[in-house]
Amino acid sequence: SQTIHQWPATLVQPVGSPLSLECTVEGTSNPNLYWYRQAAGRGLQLLFYSVGIGQISSEVPQNLSASRPQDRQFILSSKKLLLSDSGFYLCARQGVDTIYFGEGSWLTVV
């Protein structure tokens, strides 16, 4: 089966602290990978996508960055978190004809 693992599932971080959210994918090679964010009460916003190792495209200017050090690993990072970075972060991968999502990581910046 093709599975998406995200961790941590829940995270509470102080303002100004760093962030690292990890996503790994099983059962597929060279997938397109995506990071989405959902702020409280709002829709899903595409943040980054990657078509291969080291290839990152940013969809919106922001305080976050992404990296893809390995084919099946996608990392979302920040050097200094802002309150506005709070939200539900979802990793996704391209399937044959659609996109599949992980279970998400809840980030609360306090």
Partner 1 sequence: DAKTTQPTSMDCAEGRAANLPCNHSTISGNEYVYWYRQIHSQGPQYIIHGLKNNETNEMASLIITEDRKSSTLILPHATLRDTAVYYCIVRVARSSNTGKLIFGQGTTLQVKP
Give dist(CA 49, CA 46) in Å, integer: 8
Tell me if 104 contacts partner 1 by CB under 8 A: yes
As measured in angstroms, the least distance from the Cβ of 39 to partner 1 is 13
CA distance 52 to 38: 24
29 lies in the site for partner 1, by CB under 8 A: no
Cβ 32 to partner 1 shortest distance, Å? 6
- What's the alpha-carbon Rg for the chain, to the nearest Å? 13
CB of 73 to partner 1, least distance (A): 18
Per DSSP, 85 falls in state: G
Q: Is 18 exposed, middle or buried (0-12, 13-18, 19+ CB in 10 A)?
A: exposed
* Residue type at position 94: Q
Q: Which of 32, 62, 65, 67 binds partner 1 (CB under 8 A)?
A: 32
Q: Which of residues 41-100 bind partner 1 (CB under 8 A)?
A: 43-46, 49, 51, 57, 59, 88, 90, 92, 94, 97-100
Smallest separation (angstroms) from partner 1 to the CB of 80: 27
